[in-house]
Structure 1
Amino acid sequence: MSRTPQQIFESYVHAGAMSRNAVALAENFTPDGVLELPLMPDDVPFPRRMVGREEIRGVMAAYYERQAQDQRAPNLEKSGFVLHTTADPDVFIAEIDTVFDGGGEGDGGADGGGKDVTVSLVQIFRVRDGKIARLRDYFAPDLMS
């Protein structure tokens, strides 16, 4: 099944950031798909590279479980992205600004201080047969703590 870059990206974001569903997230990848986080420091427990759906599913399920108390969700009205196609039809780039609503003191807002928090990142997707064969995710590693 062939999907457009927009469909691939939206499916990936929905499974991950929006619903935190590790099984659905992993299904967006080819069986041998690779998820790389090149900016992840060596001294953290989160891997810099995951290979295959099963490893991606397992690592992300454990991560989502650790983050279960974090009730922040992206504000879709304030967040945005731009997809860039390339000369290679199997490669596209996502430029993303995700906004988490700030909250007042003690109400569980993104930073507890009332200010929105914007997370900017770039993802490079290489696809095969409508699935992600390789995703390189460039973001601030402190988000994984």
Structure 2
Amino acid sequence: MPRTPQEIFESYVYAGPLTRNADALAENFTEDGVFEAPLMPVGAAFPRRLEGREEIRRTMAAHYLRQAQDGRSPNLEKSRYVLHTTSEPDVFIAEIDTVFDGDGEDVAVSLVQIFRVRDGRIARLRDYFAPELLS
């Protein structure tokens, strides 16, 4: 039985933002999967496009190492998301408001992700977030 958008999204979020496990994150993608961050400027430390499961694994492992040094983690009680299905069965959209605990002040981040899936895995993910969040 194929995974639902909810299952795919939750697996992706658990592997990525919550546990920062690049191996688990990469396994959510098809072998030829694509991860895109279209709003990232050319030449930024975080790439605009990653092609293939192994490039996603390698690049996100390095990113998670850098990210671990910032000490921020999402507050699940304050964060929210809504999944929107589309007329195309292999496409869904996640509308996300993530709250990070800060030093005395929470930081809220809003973003949108568009998922295209194939055989229960992510074939293409377009992640629209503010680039300054990674600088």
Q: Taking structure 2 as the reference length, what is the TM-score of the superposition?
A: 0.96
CA RMSD, Structure 1 to Structure 2 (Å): 1.0
Moved over 3 A (4+): none
- Aligned-partner SS, 2:7: helix
Q: Which protein has the larger Cα radius of gyration, Structure 1 or Structure 2?
A: 1
Q: Give the superposition deviation at 1:133.
A: 0.3
1:39-88 C-alpha deviation (Å, 9 max, x unpaired): 00013132110010000001000111112222211110100000000000
Question: Could you tell me which residue of structure 2 aligns to residue 138 of structure 1?
Answer: 128
The percentage of counterpart residues that share the same residue type is 76
1:18 aligns with 2:8: no
Q: Which amino acid aligns with 2:110?
A: S
Question: Could you tell me which residue of structure 1 aligns to residue 42 of structure 2?
Answer: 42
Q: Which amino acid aligns with 1:36?
A: E
Match of 2:114 among 109, 124, 127: 124
- Aligned-partner SS, 1:26: helix
Q: Taking structure 1 as the reference length, what is the TM-score of the superposition?
A: 0.90
- Aligned-partner SS, 1:67: helix
Any unmatched runs of 5+ in structure 1? 104-113
Question: Could you tell me which residue of structure 2 aligns to residue 85 of structure 1?
Answer: 85
- Aligned-partner SS, 1:115: coil
Q: Distance in 2 between matches of 1:45 and 1:17?
A: 18
Alignment: residue pair count: 135
Any unmatched runs of 5+ in structure 2? none
